[in-house]
């Protein structure tokens, strides 16, 4: 080992150097603490054997200086003392010494003490290596995380990018709100006109949230697009509009149970049509939260009582189409259950009835303003507040 011997007595220096050199160590000498500290900064000593009482800088002060410097490697310090007794031991340990020896020191004793030093330094070295490896792993993990985060941010922009932009279709005004729990999510929706009178729409919530849910929701966007293989929009006419939602739900359920391996994922949805010529609304419900319908005659926002099997959970389920009058002045609202996982400022859970009440209060506002008002009321716009689940809401108004 590289050992520094610090002593103001020349004879002591020479005895120690001779003994240590014979043991196979490399030895340097210093006359006091200050000289020692200069040498320590220039050389890599593993062990310092220092006298206690010295001019300029004594042993305990040297010890404290070494510890305070926080060197990148460990220096094992043995303090030599002529003094005995508890008090000096306490002082020395407090200064950061690792071991003590009383003068005069004999070879055998020095040998055991240095073996102890070696054990500690070995441990220290192993720890240092492990720390170093951990730091390397940590760095690569942080890098990987940064890459994933960046990817997710891009993906979030893309996922929002597939959502419909157009919000006016003749007398139908549509608006929506979309907020994934983590960058991307399993909620999605779409709507597009089939002809001058029919508007097709759906609102979907894939179970779970995160990457796989988001990818399934993107996959559904494709399957249910106007040119998608499941939608078969060309089959749709005014006459069969009342069966179309059922057929589509059944087709989608078949597809998810037999054609697409969705793992543990399934989805709830509402899919339907607004017919402005017949002034009717047709939709199928598959386990999605019950939608609200504003009755323009009474001004009341009513919850439509309906139940249905989620899609992709069990094969061969039957679905039905619900029909409702949809005269001018009507409003239809669908949402995902993420809204019902929010908390009120009081800490109580936000319920279906609370949502209905809020939406009833916003009845006078056009669809385009409902979202911002609701967002304010529910604190959705607060930045940095994580949401427990994906949130989406879709409003369709038949403007009078």
Residues found near another protein in the complex (CB under 8 A) = 205, 207-209, 264-266, 268, 287, 289-290, 307-310, 313-314, 337, 340-341, 349, 351, 389
Cβ pair 3, 48 in contact under 8 A: yes
Minimum CB distance to another protein smaller for 7 or for 390: 390
- Torsion angle in degrees (nearest 10) through CA of 118, 124, 129, 133: 160
Structure tokens at 123: 């441990």
Cβ pair 304, 359 in contact under 8 A: no
CB of 3 to another protein, least distance (A): 56
Closest residue by Cα to residue 332 from 205, 176, 178? 176
Q: How far apart are CA 20 and CA 8, in angstroms?
A: 18
CB of 309 to another protein, least distance (A): 5
Cβ pair 337, 293 in contact under 8 A: no
Under DSSP, is residue 75 helix (H, G, I), strand (E, B) or coil? Answer: coil
Compute φ and ψ for 68, nearest 5 degrees. Answer: -70, -25
Minimum CB distance to another protein smaller for 180 or for 208: 208
Compute φ and ψ for 324, nearest 5 degrees. Answer: -140, 145
Minimum CB distance to another protein smaller for 272 or for 308: 308
Q: How far apart are CA 400 and CA 394, in angstroms?
A: 19
Compute CA distances 88 → 93, 95, 122, whole Å. 9, 11, 28
H or E element at residue 34: helix 33-42
Compute φ and ψ for 343, nearest 5 degrees. Answer: -115, 145
Minimum CB distance to another protein smaller for 181 or for 393: 181
Structure tokens at 178: 């979309």
CB of 278 to another protein, least distance (A): 28
CB of 167 to another protein, least distance (A): 29
Minimum CB distance to another protein smaller for 131 or for 343: 343
CB of 333 to another protein, least distance (A): 16
CB of 307 to another protein, least distance (A): 5
Bridge-based pairing of strands 331-335 and 321-325 is: unpaired
Minimum CB distance to another protein smaller for 149 or for 351: 351
CB of 392 to another protein, least distance (A): 14
DSSP assignment string, 154-212:
HHHHHHHHTS----EETTEEEEEEEE-SBSB-SEEEEEEESSSSEEEEEEEEESS-SHH
Bridge-based pairing of strands 187-193 and 198-206 is: antiparallel
Minimum CB distance to another protein smaller for 33 or for 185: 185
Under DSSP, is residue 375 helix (H, G, I), strand (E, B) or coil? Answer: helix
Q: How far apart are CA 208 and CA 184, in angstroms?
A: 11
CB of 151 to another protein, least distance (A): 21
CB of 216 to another protein, least distance (A): 13
Q: Which DSSP category does 280 fall into?
A: E
CB of 350 to another protein, least distance (A): 11
Minimum CB distance to another protein smaller for 117 or for 249: 249
Minimum CB distance to another protein smaller for 186 or for 272: 186
Minimum CB distance to another protein smaller for 213 or for 330: 213
CB of 287 to another protein, least distance (A): 4
Minimum CB distance to another protein smaller for 237 or for 351: 351
């Amino acid at each position: 080992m590289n050992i520094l011997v610090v002593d103001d007595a020349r004879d002591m220096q020479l005895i120690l150097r001779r003994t240590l050199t014979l043991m196979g160590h490399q030895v340097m000498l210093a006359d006091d603490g200050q000289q020692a500290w200069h040498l320590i900064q220039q050389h890599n000593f593993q062990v310092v054997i220092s006298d206690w009482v010295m001019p300029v800088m004594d042993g305990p002060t040297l010890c404290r200086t070494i510890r305070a410097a926080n060197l990148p490697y460990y220096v094992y310090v043995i303090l030599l003392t002529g003094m005995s007794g508890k008090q000096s031991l306490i002082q020395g340990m407090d200064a950061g010494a690792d071991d003590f020896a009383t003068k005069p020191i004999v070879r055998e004793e020095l040998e055991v003490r240095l073996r102890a030093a070696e054990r500690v330094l070995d441990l220290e070295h192993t720890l240092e290596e492990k720390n170093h490896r951990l730091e390397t792993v940590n760095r690569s993990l942080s890098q990987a995380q940064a890459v994933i985060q960046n990817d997710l941010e891009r993906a979030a922009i893309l996922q929002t990018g597939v959502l419909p932009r157009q919000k006016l279709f003749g007398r139908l005004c549509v608006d929506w709100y979309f907020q994934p729990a983590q960058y991307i999510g399993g909620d999605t929706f779409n709507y597009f006109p089939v002809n001058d009178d029919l508007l097709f729409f759906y609102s979907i919530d894939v179970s779970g949230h995160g990457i796989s849910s988001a990818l399934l929701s993107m996959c559904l966007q494709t399957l249910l697009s106007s040119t998608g293989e499941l939608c078969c929009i060309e089959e749709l006419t005014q006459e069969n509009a009342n069966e179309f939602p059922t057929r589509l739900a059944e087709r989608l359920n078949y597809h998810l149970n037999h054609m697409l391996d969705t793992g543990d994922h399934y989805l709830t949805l509402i899919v339907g049509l607004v017919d402005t010529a017949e002034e009717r609304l047709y939709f199928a419900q598959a386990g999605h939260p019950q939608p609200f319908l504003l009755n323009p005659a009474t001004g009341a926002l009513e919850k439509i009582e309906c139940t249905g099997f989620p899609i992709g959970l069990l094969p061969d389920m039957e679905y039905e189409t619900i029909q409702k009058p949809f005269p001018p002045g009507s409003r239809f609202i669908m949402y995902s259950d993420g809204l019902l996982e929010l908390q009120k400022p009081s800490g109580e859970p936000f319920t279906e009835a609370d949502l209905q009440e809020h939406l009833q209060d916003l009845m006078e506002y056009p669809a385009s303003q409902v979202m911002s008002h609701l967002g304010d009321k529910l604190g959705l716009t607060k930045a940095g507040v994580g949401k427990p689940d994906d949130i989406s809401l879709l409003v369709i108004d038949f403007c009078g």
